Structure 1
C-alpha cells in the first residue's frame, strides 16, 4: 500500500511489474545514444567542411578566370574640353583579346554616371599577345559634353580568350560583364571604381 495525503492507496500492478533492465542493457542504450550523437556531429562537420571547400574552389576558379583580365592595362590622356581622349590599351597576357571597346564616363548631375557613345579610331577587333593599340576616342554625335575635362574617366571592355566579357577601369580590378545593357554597364563601372577589399 502507498500512502497519498494520509490515505492508503494500493500500488498499481504496473509499477511493481516494470523491469528496469540490467547494467549491460543500460550500457548498450547509453552507447547507442552516444554513437547517434557522434554520428550527427560528424555529419554536420563534414557538411560544413565540404561547403568551405566548395567556396574555396569557387574563389580559386573566379581568380583563375580573371588571370588574363588582370593583365590588360590602359593609359589615357584627356585632350581639350574632354571630348577627345588619347587611349592606349595594352595586352600584357600570353593570349589574344577580342573586341576591345574603350569607354568614357563621368559623374553627371548628382551621383548618376553618364556613359556616352564613343567612336574610336582605328577600330580594333583583335589585340594579340604582348601588343598594344593606340586609339583616338571621341564623343559620338549628339553626346553631351563633360562638365570639366578632369572629371572624364576611362574604361575598356573586352572579351578574353575564353569568350568572357570583362570591364577594366584604370588600375581597378577587372569585372565580369554579363550583358551589354546600359544599366549593367553603369553598375559594372561603379563596382570597378570601388576600392578592392
Structure 2
C-alpha cells in the first residue's frame, strides 16, 4: 500500500508541476506581448466584423455624398441650359426729364418672349439717411420678337422727381419660348419667377 501511495504522490506532483509550468509560460507570454487581464477578456473574434461594418457604412456614405454632388451639378447644368434664352433678354434704362424713364428691352435670341412686364425701381440716396427704393407702375408688352427690341416710356409721376444722383433700374418678368417664366433685376442673372 505504501507503494501505491508513493506512485500516486509522484503522479500528483508531476501533474501539479506541469500545470504550474504551463500557467507560468502563459503568464510570461501575456506579459511579453503586453496583454493585460482586461484584454484577455475581450472576444477578439468580433473585431474584424467591427472594421467591416465601419468600412461598409463609410463606403455607403461616400457613394451618397458623391451622388448628391452629381445631382446638384446636373441640376445646375440644366438650369444654365434653360436660362440660355433668358440671358439674351435685357433692358437699358435712360432718364428723360424729371419724371420720365425710357426703357429699351432687347431680345437677342431667335425666339420671341411673351408677357413682358417692366417694373421701374428708383433708388436715391440722401446724405446721413439710408437708401430709399420705390417701385413705379409696371408696364406690359405682350410680345417681343426674336432679334428685336421694344421701347417703353414710364412716367414715375410728379411725386418722384428724378435727380442726377438717382439710380433707376428695371425688373423684367417674361416668358420664354419654352413656357418658362423668368425674372431679371437690372443686369443680374435671370431667376425662375
**TM tier relative to shorter chain:** 0.5 to 0.7
The TM-score with structure 1 as length reference comes to 0.63
As a proportion of its length, which structure holds more helix? 2
Cα deviation code 1:106-130 (max 9, x no counterpart): 22673342002155xxx63111111
Q: Which has the larger radius of gyration?
A: 2
Q: What CA RMSD, in Å, does the superposition of the two structures yield over aligned residues?
A: 2.9
TM-superposed deviation, 1:53: 1.3
The TM-score with structure 2 as length reference comes to 0.64
**Corresponding residue number in structure 2 for 1:35:** 52
Q: 1:63 aligns with which of 53, 77, 80?
A: 80
Report how many residues are paired.
Answer: 150
Instruction: Sort the Cα spacing of 1:146 and 1:168 in 2 relative to 1 into closer, same or farther, 3 A.
Output: farther
Residue 64 of structure 1 aligns to a residue whose secondary structure is: helix
The answer to whether the Cα contact below 8 Å between 1:103 and 1:118 also exists between their aligned partners in 2 is yes
Instruction: Sort the Cα spacing of 1:31 and 1:79 in 2 relative to 1 into closer, same or farther, 3 A.
Output: same
Which ranges of structure 2 fall in alignment gaps of 5 or more residues?
1-40
Instruction: Sort the Cα spacing of 1:168 and 1:20 in 2 relative to 1 into closer, same or farther, 3 A.
Output: closer
Instruction: Sort the Cα spacing of 1:118 and 1:57 in 2 relative to 1 into closer, same or farther, 3 A.
Output: closer
Instruction: Sort the Cα spacing of 1:136 and 1:106 in 2 relative to 1 into closer, same or farther, 3 A.
Output: closer
TM-superposed deviation, 1:147: 5.0
